[in-house]
Amino acid sequence: MQNSVALPITGTRAGAAARVWSAVAVLLLGMSIIYVVGFSTISKVHNATHDNRHANGFPCH
C-alpha cells in the first residue's frame, strides 16, 4: 500500500490557470441553471418548475 501523499502537479502555471478558469465557467453555469429552476420570478418558469421547487426545498409560494 502506497502512502497517500498528493504529488505536486506537473502542469505549468498556464495549466493551473486553465483549470481555474474552466472551474469558474462550470460554477457560473451551475449558478445560472439553479437560478432558473429554483429562483426565477418569471411566472411561466415559476409554474413550470413548481413541483421541483417544493420537492427540493427552494422557497416557493
Partner 1 sequence: MDRFRHMMTLVLLSGAAAGLVLFAVQHLTVVPLIQQAEVYERAGEEAEVASGGHHHDEGWQPADGWERTSFTALATLLTGIGFAALLFGVVFLAGLPLDARRGLLWGLTAFVCVDVAPTIGLPPQPPGVAVAELYARQIWWVGTVVATAIAIWLFFGKGIPKLARPLGIVPLILPHLLGAPKATGQNVVPAEIIHRFSALSIATTGMFWLLLGLLGGILYQKMQAKDADSFGTQPAPLQ
Find the shortest distance in angstroms from Cβ 45 to partner 1: 9
CA 14 from centre of chain: 23
- Give the footprint of partner 1 on residues 10-49 (CB under 8 A): 10-11, 15-16, 18-20, 22-27, 29-34, 36-39, 41, 43-44, 47-49
SS (H, E, C) 13-47: HHHHHHHHHHHHHHHHHHHHHHHHHHHCCCHHHHH
Question: What residue ranges bind partner 1 (CB under 8 A)?
Answer: 1-11, 15-16, 18-20, 22-27, 29-34, 36-39, 41, 43-44, 47-61
